[in-house]
Every structure is written in C-alpha cells, then in structure tokens.
Amino acid sequence: MFMSLFLKECKIWCKSILFYAYIIILFFFYVTQMRSESAIKRPRPGEKEYGITYSENNSDIMNGTLKVLLNEYYNNKFVTYPMGFYKPVILSANEIKQVEKNISKLTGITEKDWKEKLDHYYESKNIKWSFYITKDIGYNEFLSIMSDLEKVIGKGSKYSAKALKGNAKIAKTYEQALKEYDEFLKKDKVTRAYARVFSDYMGIVLAILPAFFGVARVLQDKRSNASAVIYSKKCSSIIIVLSRCLAIIVMLFIPVLILSCFSLVESLYIAKTMGAAPDYFVYLKFCIGWLLPILMFVSMLSYFITELTNSILALLINSGIWFVSVFLGFDSPLISVGWNLVPRFNIIGMHGMFQEIFPQLVKNRILYSILGVFMILISILIYSIKREGGHKFYGKISQNFNNQS
C-alpha cells in the first residue's frame, strides 16, 4: 500500500506547475552560478603575485587586526554585521577613550606617540606602515583585549573571535600556491573541489524552495475539501504522511542529482585535461550528505507548520530562516559552517580549510537530518490527532491562523 501511495504522490507533483518552476529555477541557478567557476592554474615561479591567503600565524593575525583597528579608529566607523546586515557603529567620546586605552596596550606606545604617528601616516601618503603589536603581549592576552573591544563596539565586529583570521590577509608565496595546486590535483582530485562549490550554491536555493512544497501539499487537502474523505479511509496516518513527505523529498532531490551529473561531467573533463584521477562518486556523496539534509529540514519544517496551523505561516518562518542562515555567514562570506543551515564553501580549492571544517560539517548535517526526521514524526502525530477529531485542542490553533490563508 505504501509504495502505491508513494508513487501516486509523486505523480501529483509531476502534474504540478510548482514542480516545473522548481526545476527551471534550480537549472537557472546552476547555469548562472556554477559555469563561471574557473580551475586553479599551475603557478609558475617568478610570477608577480599568487593571490592572497589568510595567515594562520598568530603574529600575522595580531598585526593584521591592529591595522584594521587603527584604520577603523581613525575614521571612527566600526563595521559590524550583527545579523548579516551591514551595521556601521560610531562610538561616543567615552567609548573612543576605551578603544584608545586598548590601542596603547596593544602597541606598547603612549597614546600621544601613536596618535601623532597615525596622523602623520594618513596625512602624508608615502610612509610605510609601522605599527606592530608589542612583544609583551601574548596571543591569549590579545584575545582578551579583543573581547573587551567587542564589548564596546558590539556583536559581529572585526574583533570577534570568528572574524580575527579574516584580518590577516597576506600574499601567497610560490610554495604556498604550488602546494595548493597540488592538493587541488591530488587530494581534491579536481572533482571534489567542484562538488563543494556546487553544494554551496545549491544549498542557497534549497534552503527556501522546498518550503513551498510542504505548504502546497498540505493546503491542497484543505483547498479541495478532501481532508474529510481521506480521514475516513482505512489507511494509517503513518503511511499517509510518510508517503507524502517522502514523495516531496524524493521528487525534489531527483533534479538536484541530475544537475549534479551535469556538473560532474564538466569537472571530469577538467580533471582529465589536468591529468588528475577523478572521484566519480563525490557529487553523489555531497548531494546526500550536504544537500539532502537542507532539503529535508526545510520541506518538512514547512510541512509540519502547515499541518499544525493550516495556514501559510510556514512561508514566513521559512523565509526568515533563509534570511538568517544565508546572511549569518557574512563575517567570513566564503567559508563558514558552525551550526548554520546553509554551510558556505564558496571557493575552488582550499583543501586544507575543508579538512579543518569537515568534522563540524558532519555534526551540523547530522543535526539537520535528525531535525528533518523529527518534523516528519510530529507531522504524523498532528495528522492523526486531527484525524481522530482532536478538535478541542487543535481547533483553537487552526482557528487563530485560518484567516491568513
């Protein structure tokens, strides 16, 4: 019974304009975003520059941060991204004093001295930068000063623990560039680097589009007055809800897999021309491990909320979640994982970085998969309560939202 019902649910989507719009949007995103990514070229010795990288060295981080700090201090404009949105902070005289104290601590020079030096630097243009962290300050003390600064300036500033690394921009050396190229070829086997970026882009759209399907499926019953007939049938609530949810997940996942094949073929071609041994299954692994949890969580959350409220409230909540998860990673927009629904890795290469975030990525993905499954379970519960006339508790919730849809 389950299989037959599942196939019928899939067929419902095959006839839905929503589904075709989804495919077109996905394809459009793929074409416009993915096609523009170019491969890493083999570096040659003696080139002018090899691009920039972020240093892992504590002293680079400290000195880089000092430079950012003095610059922001001079303009009295401190850039923050508290929720992903740009928020410049302008400090009051009192707060400025606190920052000045910290600068003195960091540089080990008196306030008068470094102020003069700084003015001099900005007024005449051809002076070399000559501010460095004093040797008396270790990395731990530096971190505690930074957290003091963050208290003054506010959340999401360039002095938050997460953002510090981003201040340490340095030029890549030839050796570094060569190492990265080697990793790209041998460890990432070219294909993996592309699969990561593919997942990164697709994650952005998959964090919102499936929400419309959860809402549409549940409201379809309400709109066509079909609930009562379906309720009265023998079939158990578990089978009904499970077949619906799985149909949504499977039908939405198939186009992702097909697109990943396009991308795979392209990256295979690049790998071949570069002489790398490709990883044929890497896209499949990334789709299942990285993208499927997003798709599941988003579609099932909206399914659950719609089943609970019989309204389009889910669209609002899901849009909010999308907004927050896509813009939250703003303080280092290229790579961020944490517990974010949409992990970002918008860069070809950087094998070492990926190794570093991988354990967190796994934990993160497991969390969202579990949440997705949990949403299915409570949707089943709510459906069976509704079906057995649990209107006393339920009627109130749905009535409150009914005028919205």
Question: 319, 332, 355, 360: which one contacts another protein (CB under 8 A)?
Answer: 319
Minimum distance of another protein from residue 15's CB (angstroms):
5
Give the closest residue to 382 by CA, choosing from 394, 369, 400, 396: 394
Site string for another protein, 56-85 (x = CB under 8 A): ------------------------x-xxxx
Tokens encoding 7? 């196939």
Q: Which of 213, 253 has the CB closer to another protein?
A: 213
The answer to the question of residue 391 lying near another protein (CB under 8 A) is yes
- The Cα 324–Cα 311 span in angstroms is 22
Q: Does 339 bind another protein (CB under 8 A)?
A: no
Judged by CB under 8 A, the stretch of 45-53, 231-239, 281-289, 375-383 that binds another protein is: 231-239
Query: Smallest Cα–Cα separation from 221: which of 398, 24, 4, 7?
Result: 398
By CB under 8 A, is residue 36 in contact with another protein? yes
Supply 181's token pair.
């190229």
Least distance from another protein to the Cβ atom of residue 222, Å: 10
104 belongs to the binding site for another protein (CB under 8 A): no
Rounded to the nearest 10°, the torsion over CA 220, 222, 228, 229 is: -20
Q: Closest distance between another protein and the C-beta of residue 311, in Å? A: 9
Position 226 contacts another protein (CB under 8 A): yes
Minimum distance from residue 3 beta carbon to another protein (Å): 10
Considering only 108, 138, 352, 389, the residue that binds another protein (CB under 8 A) is 389
Q: Are 202 and 30 in contact (CB under 8 A)?
A: yes
What count of other Cβ atoms lies within 10 Å of the Cβ of residue 168?
21
> How many other β-carbons are positioned within 10 Å of the β-carbon of residue 267?
27
Note whether 247 binds another protein by CB under 8 A. no
Residues 145-184 that bind another protein (CB under 8 A): none
Asked if residue 256 lies in contact with residue 206, where contact means CB atoms within 8 angstroms, the answer is yes
Q: Is 5 in the site for another protein (CB under 8 A)?
A: yes
Residue 258 carries which side chain, given as an amino acid letter? I
Distance of closest approach, residue 228 Cβ to another protein, in angstroms: 4
Minimum CB separation of residue 312 from another protein in Å reads 6
Exactly one of 87, 165, 172, 187 binds another protein (CB under 8 A); which one?
87
CB of 233 to another protein, least distance (A): 4
Task: Examine residue 347 and tell whether it contacts another protein (CB under 8 A).
Answer: no
316, 362, 366, 370: which one binds another protein (CB under 8 A): 316
Measured CA to CA, the distance from residue 173 to residue 273 in angstroms comes to 26
Orientation of helix 391-402 relative to helix 292-309, angle to 10°: 100
Which residues are paired to 80 by β-bridges? 87, 157
- 191 to 220, contacts with another protein by CB under 8 A? 204-205, 208-209, 212-213, 215-216, 219-220
By DSSP bridging, strand 335-336 and strand 169-171 are unpaired
Taking the C-alpha atoms of residue 216 and residue 367, their distance in angstroms, rounded to an integer, is: 26
CB 401 within 8 A of CB 310: yes
Measured between alpha carbons, how far is 374 from 368 in angstroms, rounded to an integer?
Answer: 10
* Both structure tokens of 314: 């889910």
Number of shown-chain residues binding another protein (CB under 8 A)? 65
Structure tokens at 90: 């302008």
Q: Is 87 helix (H, G, I), strand (E, B) or coil?
A: strand
Contact 300, 214 (CB under 8 A): yes
Shortest distance (Å) from residue 155 CB to another protein: 10
Q: Tell me: does residue 254 bind another protein (CB under 8 A).
A: no
Q: By the criterion CB under 8 A, which residues form the site for another protein?
A: 1, 4-5, 8, 11-12, 15-18, 21, 25, 28-29, 32-33, 36, 80, 82-90, 204-205, 208-209, 212-213, 215-216, 219-220, 223-226, 228-236, 240, 312, 315-316, 319, 326, 387-391, 395, 403-405
